[in-house]
Structure 1
Amino acid sequence: MERTAIVTGARRGIGLAVAEELAQAGFRVVLAAVSPPQEAAGVVARFRENGWTAEYQSVDISKVEDRRDLFDRTEERYGKIDVLVNNAGVAPQVRADLLEMTQESFDRVLSVNLRGTFFMCQEAAGRMIAAKRQGGALYTPRIINIGSISAYTASVSRGEYCISKAGVSMVTSLFASRLAEEGIPVFEVRPGIILTDMTAAVQEKYQRMIEAGITPIRRFGRPKDVADCVMAAVSGRLDFATGQVLNADGGFHLRRL
């Protein structure tokens, strides 16, 4: 039986790695990101060259009409949605001291990372519940939110990002609790220091920290490391652990003396 996954923030980095793993596992993948379609044409072409079913939709998850259109179009084309991976997120445009953070930056980051993620979960949940009540035991949808170690690690030069990711952690707990009775597991995958465009500007700083032992596994994380955790959550083998956080962080979460 063919399954369909939506992955947000999927044009590059972690989202693209997740989409690739899902496609390799046989999912029909809807790649969603804020970029215009022409900027993702090469990615979609590569997926199709590999024999994978994939399409791209330009989506700003902070906008209600974009969110609904994404789900409407996916359901119209493929029917029910089996997996939602909420990966889309933004970093502050300027790393400013906490005492200088602007309201505009705060609102921008939280509107995408937190509000957008919450309402993506809400939209998916309603549709998954309806489909599950019609589809019976063979339909096993799941939601995976991509969080961050910034959920509990204070970075005073990007406080708005930390706050947004702390919120995503609670969003995961809330939906895992609410959807348990519906048989829909919800998970958080929590990346650490991952080599992506978002960390490129501070790569040298992080490299020194890694070499000094800030992570027990002394290397940058790769997008595939995060994707592997997503696939574990999608596999069905963790369903009884709904609400679980999967740390893709090289052991950063370990408290060591």
Structure 2
Amino acid sequence: MTRPAALITGARRGIGRAIGVALAKAGYDIAFTDIAEDEAVREASRLFAEAGAAARFFKHDVAAVASHADLVTNVKSAFGRLDVFVSNAGIGAPVRGDMLEITTETFDVVLDVNLRGAAFLSQEVAKAMLAGRSERPAIVFITSASTELVSIDRAQYCVSKLGLSMWARALAVRLAPEGIPVFEVRPGVIRTDMTAKVAAKYDARISEGLIPAGRWGEGEDVAAAVAGLTSGQFAYATGTVINVDGGLLIPRL
């Protein structure tokens, strides 16, 4: 197989699916995961194929750390290589409310996926990349504007993304001598299934000027950034954070 292969977690819909389409158009074959296997998986596979990729779905729970080695082995077996990893899978707070009422159970659920699972899967991928070099390897973590913006009704989500941001920086330093760049992409208010339940709230806030660009972000906005970072043109910028937020994180008076 001559096409490079990208592994994208949580890619059956939303931002992950958009990233898969963008990377397929950029010349990658696509291995993608999600916790569920349904019609959305079949639709994602169709879109990736239409964009020129050989695509393979792997049902996988990122929180199941013990399964990570098998996932990476199966991806390499299917495609013969693993060149790019996009850590996209994540969940929101199971319940929004007063942070003084957050339970250890809901805290652990969010961190097990968004931080612990993502970190240890990237560790397994990094080892595989070191064992079989690519012409243009890259690891990209999808975090959130919530690494900087506090939401007290979902503090556990903010903590998980900020923790993952530090992991990305540390991994960038560890892998820089090996020629494997690591990047972090921070989406702002993006139109996805996760944000659908608070769409009315953000519609109002955007109309009030919350986002300088004056609109919702789309999955394709995030995907374009990932495609650029994995192109091989930004390898010396390892550790860089890219805000895909329409200016949301720019301090203003």
RMSD of Structure 2 on Structure 1 (CA): 1.3
CA deviation profile, 1:114-156 (whole Å, cap 9, x unmatched) = 0011111100111111112xxxxx6221000001010111100
Superposition pairs for residues 119-130 of structure 1, below 5 Å? 119-130=120-131
| Matched-pair identity in % | 44
Question: Does residue 61 in structure 1 map to residue 62 in structure 2?
Answer: yes
Question: Displacement, 1:39?
Answer: 5.1
Instruction: Work out the CA distance in 2 between the residues paired with 1:77 and 1:65.
Output: 20
Is the 1:5–1:84 contact (alpha carbons within 8 Å) kept by the matching residues of 2? Answer: yes
SS in 2 for 1:178: helix
| Unaligned residue ranges in structure 2 (runs of 5+) | none
**Normalising to structure 1: TM-score of the pair?**
0.94
Distance 1:175 1:73 in 2: 23
Q: Do the aligned residues in 2 keep the contact of 1:37 with 1:56 (CA within 8 Å)?
A: no
Please say if residues 30 and 48 of structure 2, whose CA atoms lie closer than 8 Å, have aligned partners that are also in contact. no
Instruction: After superposition, give the CA deviation of every residue in 1:61-94 in whole Å (9 maximum; x if it has no partner).
Output: 1112332221111111212210000000001111
Q: How does 1:106-255 map to 2 (within 5 A)?
A: 106-132=107-133, 139-255=135-251
- Determine the C-alpha separation between the residues in 2 that align with 1:192 and 1:46: 25
Query: How many angstroms does 1:201 deviate by?
Result: 0.8
Partners of 1:169 and 1:154 in 2: CA distance: 15
Q: Whole-Å Cα distance in 2 between the matches of residues 173 and 42 of structure 1?
A: 34
Instruction: List structure 1 segments (4+ residues) > 6 angstroms apart after TM superposition.
Output: none
Q: Which residue of 2 aligns with 1:34?
A: 35
Name the count of aligned residue pairs. 252
TM (normalized to structure 2)?
A: 0.96
Deviation at 1:213, TM superposition (A): 1.1
Distance 2:101 2:155 in 1: 10
Letter in 2 for 1:163: V
Describe the shift of the 1:41–1:65 C-alpha distance in structure 2 as closer, same or farther (beyond 3 A): farther
Residue by residue, what CA displacement relative to the aligned partner does 1:139-186 show, whole Å, maximum 9, x if unpaired?
221000001010111100001000000011101100001000111000
Is 2:81 the counterpart of 1:85? no
CA contact (8 A) 1:37 1:58 kept: no
Single out whichever of 36-45 and 151-160 deviates more from structure 2: 36-45
For residues 94 and 156 of structure 2, the distance between their equivalents in structure 1, rounded to whole angstroms, comes to 11
Displacement of 1:239 in angstroms is 1.0
Structure 1 regions of 5+ residues with no counterpart?
A: 133-137
